[in-house]
C-alpha cells in the first residue's frame, strides 16, 4: 500500500512506516515483542511465557468488539468499516423485530456472514462514538491528516519489536484512540492498564527508526451518555519514566530468556500494611 502524499514531506515516514492488514501484523507476534506482550511481562514473567507457549489465550470480550469496530470507523473510514463488518440480523416473523444477539437464529445468521457482526445496538453506539470524536475540535484536528494502523518494526534494546500505531500525524505526532465507560476515570484507567507504557513504547519504536521523538496524544471516547470525548497530551515526564520502566523490563526479559527462568514475582514473603 502507498502512503498518502502528506507523508512525502517527511521522508523517514515513507521509508519506515509499514501498512499491512491486522492479521498479518498479529501473525508476527511470535517473532516480535509488542507493547501488549511487554505489559504481560511487566505484570508477570510466567504469564508472558505461558502466552508465548500458547497455553493461555487473550480473552475477547463484547466491549473489545465495539472498541475494535469504533477504531475502524473513526480511523480507517466508513468504506473500510462497512466492508469489514456485517450489520443487523434476521427478523423474527412473529414480532417483526430483530432476533436478539444471543438467540440461535441470530448466531446462525452471524455464522453465515463470514465476517464479524454488529447488532443494531452496537452499530448505533459506534456511530455515536464517531460523531463524538469528529465533533471535538482537537480530536478532529489530530485526525485530519495522517495514516491509520501503521506498523513499525525495529530492534529496540537488543530485542526485535513491533508496534501498530492507531494514527500517525506527520506534523503533530502519535495519536492513540481509546474507548472508555466513563471519561472522568480516564487517567485512573491509564494507570491501571499501562497506557503510558504502551505509548512510550510506540514513541521509542518510532524514534528507533527515525531518530525523532514525537509528541504523543491520547483521544478518549466515552461509551455511555453523555458520550464525551477528550484529548490528552502525554507529558515528557510521564513518557520518560514509562520508557525507563519499559527498558528495564526488556533487560529483565533478556535475562529470563537466557536463564529460561520465568517467575511470578510473588516468590518472596511480602509485608502487608496500610500504606
Which residues have CB under 8 Å from 262's CB, separation 6+?
45, 46, 48, 49, 256
Average pLDDT over the chain, rounded to an integer:
91
Which residues have CB under 8 Å from 51's CB, separation 6+?
37, 40, 57, 58
The length of the chain is 275
What is the rounded CA–CA span in Å between residue 249 and residue 48?
A: 12
Task: State the average pLDDT over residues 231-243.
Answer: 98
User: What do you get for the CA distance between the two ends of the chain, in Å?
Assistant: 53
Task: State the average pLDDT over residues 38-46.
Answer: 97
Does pLDDT of 8 surpass 60?
Answer: no
Contact 132, 101 (CB under 8 A): no
Task: State the average pLDDT over residues 124-141.
Answer: 98
Is the pTM above the cut of 0.85?
Answer: yes
For the stretch 254-263, pLDDT in tens is: 999 999 999 9
Does pLDDT of 141 surpass 50?
Answer: yes
Q: What is the pLDDT of residue 11?
A: 44
For the stretch 189-227, pLDDT in tens is: 999 999 999 999 999 999 998 888 999 999 999 999 999
How far is C-alpha 107 from the chain's CA centre? 27
Task: State the average pLDDT over residues 74-78.
Answer: 97
Does pLDDT of 20 surpass 70?
Answer: yes
Q: Looking at per-residue confidence, does 91 or 159 come out higher? A: 159
Q: How many CB atoms lie within 10 A of CB 129?
A: 24
**CA 229 to each of CA 65, 126, 220, 235: distance values in angstroms, whole numbers, following the listed order:** 19, 13, 6, 19
Contact 120, 88 (CB under 8 A): yes
How far is C-alpha 271 from the chain's CA centre? 35
Task: State the average pLDDT over residues 73-101.
Answer: 90
* Domains contained in the chain, CATH given: 11-57+136-259 (3.90.320.10), 60-120 (no CATH)
Location of C-alpha cell 497506557? 195
Q: What is the pLDDT of residue 160?
A: 98
Amino acid at each position: 500500500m502507498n502512503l498518502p502524499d502528506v507523508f512525502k514531506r517527511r521522508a523517514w515516514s515513507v521509508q519506515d512506516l509499514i501498512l499491512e492488514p491486522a492479521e498479518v501484523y498479529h501473525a508476527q507476534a511470535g517473532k516480535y515483542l509488542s507493547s501488549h506482550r511487554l505489559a504481560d511481562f511487566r505484570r508477570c514473567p510466567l504469564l508472558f511465557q505461558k502466552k508465548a507457549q500458547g497455553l493461555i489465550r487473550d480473552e475477547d470480550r463484547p466491549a473489545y468488539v465495539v472498541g475494535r469496530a469504533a477504531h475502524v470507523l473513526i480511523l480507517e473510514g466508513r468504506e473500510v468499516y462497512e466492508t469489514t463488518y456485517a450489520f443487523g440480523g434476521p427478523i423474527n416473523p412473529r414480532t417483526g423485530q430483530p432476533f436478539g444477539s444471543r438467540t440461535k437464529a441470530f448466531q446462525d445468521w452471524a455464522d453465515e456472514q463470514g465476517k464479524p457482526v454488529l447488532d443494531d445496538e452496537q452499530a448505533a453506539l459506534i456511530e455515536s462514538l464517531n460523531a463524538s470524536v469528529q465533533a471535538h475540535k482537537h480530536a478532529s484536528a489530530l485526525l485530519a491528516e495522517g495514516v491509520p494502523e501503521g506498523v513499525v518494526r525495529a530492534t529496540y534494546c537488543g530485542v526485535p519489536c513491533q508496534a501498530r500505531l492507531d494514527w500517525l500525524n506527520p506534523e503533530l505526532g502519535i495519536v492513540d484512540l481509546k474507548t472508555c465507560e466513563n471519561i472522568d476515570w480516564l487517567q485512573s484507567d491509564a494507570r491501571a492498564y499501562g497506557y503510558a507504557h504502551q505509548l512510550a513504547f510506540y514513541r521509542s519504536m518510532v524514534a528507533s527508526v527515525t531518530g525523532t521523538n514525537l509528541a504523543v496524544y491520547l483521544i478518549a471516547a466515552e461509551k455511555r451518555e453523555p458520550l464525551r470525548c477528550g484529548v490528552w497530551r502525554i507529558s515528557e515526564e510521564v513518557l520518560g519514566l514509562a520508557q525507563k520502566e519499559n527498558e528495564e523490563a526488556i533487560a529483565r526479559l533478556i535475562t529470563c530468556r537466557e536463564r529460561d527462568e520465568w517467575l511470578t514475582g510473588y516468590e518472596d514473603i511480602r509485608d502487608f500494611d496500610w500504606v
